[in-house]
Chain A
Amino acid sequence: MLKVENVKKAFGAATVLDGVNLTVSPGEVVSILGSSGSGKSTLIRCINGLEKLNGGRIAIDDFDVAKPKELAEARKRSATVFQLFNLYPHMTTLQNIALAPVEVLKRPRAEVEQEARALLASVGLSDKVDAYPAHLSGGQRQRVGICRALAMKPRYLLLDEVTSALDPEMTAEVLAILAKLAREGTTMLFVTHEVEFARQISNRIVFLDKGVLLVDLPTEEFFAASGGLAQPRIAQFLSKMKKD
């Protein structure tokens, strides 16, 4: 179980997360919605240990990410797909995918590379095994990013606005893969602006506003007039997203 308990994070005087609580159980898909600057990406960066907390606790399968020794174990159980792909430009797609499983999980390279090829084939990139990221389109890079995360066989997949840097066609490519992962029961914590997609694949939807978690509701309830929509801030957000 992934637990976020009363997490606080500030950059200087600016409070970015203010007492956030969240639990993600294995098999769940939880989407985090909220406008830009609401703290969604910071929450993901706190979960994967890239940001130090100012308060509260985050634990992945009981491994506290604030404790250096436990962080290593927590990171083996989660994997992140980044908004701007964050691929290693000097490595081929295969090398990008194989690096962490070989170096961190200490798995045999041949076995990892075989799995990496299968992952690339599953996202339609079997002909790009030896390509460098610069030679791929944005959608292809993000698919490699997803394969890189899946190669770690994570219990929790953290997705940070993975389609926001993509055009509509490439967005559709990536969302199709995520929908498939959701059907297969992959546990996902999904920061997104794709409200309709979040509605389709999520078990629960969390709404962040100025660092405060406003609601954490089952998807149907979130979109019900008596549920999430009853909150003026959420109604305003959803109405604006529809117009956009």
Chain B
Amino acid sequence: MRYSDFTTYDLLLLAQGLGVTIGLFLVTSLIGLVIGVLWGVVRFYRIPLLTPLITFIAELLKNSPVLVQLFLVFFGFPAFFHLNVTPVQAAVVTLSANTAAFIYVIAVSAIESVGREQIDAARAFGLSRWQILRHVIAPQAAAFSIGPLTALLVNQLQVTSLISVIGVMDLAKIGATLNLRTLKPFIVWAVVGLLYYLTAKLIAAVGARYETRLRRFSEFRGL
């Protein structure tokens, strides 16, 4: 067997890379979801200083390349503040923040999609802001946001491939390693691409399942 031949060990490597990609995707999506929704709630309450600050941070994160953000977190901040940051830590921070910025946008749109007249009615009946958010806005905002959220998560899965450039052994990095060893770029990148595609389809399927459930719940919309 030549050094450049594929082995069963390569399958294990690909599985390991896929595991790292999915793991980081899940962790950063969850952190991003919590932070993005919290930012949306802060904006709903119109908390002075905090709301414009969050909007500014979200604008920066949305309008700069993820790769630049990643380099800043991995190379820039550690050099400036004399910190030790591992590639995985940099990946988690960068991807979580980037996801949060986009989820913030979805959360704001979802909150604003709820008719003003419903909020007026709830206020006139004496419901507090929190009660309005919980009972009137959140259920409708969730139904509104599930589609854009699924699209965002599928996109964020692809974005995880950027972390390979700082040395995280994710699926893209494993692909690059296998490519260097086997010198069979078509097969390697086709398999890596297929694995990304299947994972994206899985995310879309989960999203569609939730959407169906929420549509049943939001039959009123006539969707």
Contact indicator A89/B124 (Cβ below 8 Å): no
A-side contacts of B136, CB under 8 Å: 88
**Nearest A-chain residue to B123, judged by Cβ:** A50
B-side contacts of A24, CB under 8 Å: none
Given known contacts A89-B220, A90-B217, is B126 in contact with A99 (CB within 8 Å)?
no
A69 smallest CB distance to B (angstroms): 12
Interface membership of B209, Cβ < 8 A:
no
Contact pick for B127, options A50, A84, A104, A135, CB 8 Å: A104
Contact indicator B124/A48 (Cβ below 8 Å): yes
**Nearest B-chain residue to A75, judged by Cβ:** B126
Interface membership of B135, Cβ < 8 A:
yes
Contact indicator B219/A84 (Cβ below 8 Å): no
Main secondary structure of the interface of B (DSSP, over half): helix
Interface membership of B96, Cβ < 8 A:
no
Contact indicator A86/B117 (Cβ below 8 Å): yes
A-side contacts of B118, CB under 8 Å: 86-89
**C-alpha gap A148/B118 in the complex (Å):** 13
Mark contacts of A88-122 with chain B using CB atoms, 8 A cut-off: 1 yes-contact digit, 0 otherwise.
11100000000110011000000000000000000
Contact indicator B120/A86 (Cβ below 8 Å): yes
A162 smallest CB distance to B (angstroms): 13
* A-B residue pairs, 6 tightest by C-beta: A86-B121, A75-B126, A100-B125, A134-B220, A104-B126, A48-B124
Binding site for B on A (CB under 8 A): 48-50, 72, 75-76, 79-80, 82, 84, 86-90, 99-100, 103-104, 132-135, 148, 152
A-B contact pairs, 6 of them (CB 8 A): A48-B124, A72-B126, A80-B125, A99-B122, A132-B219, A134-B220
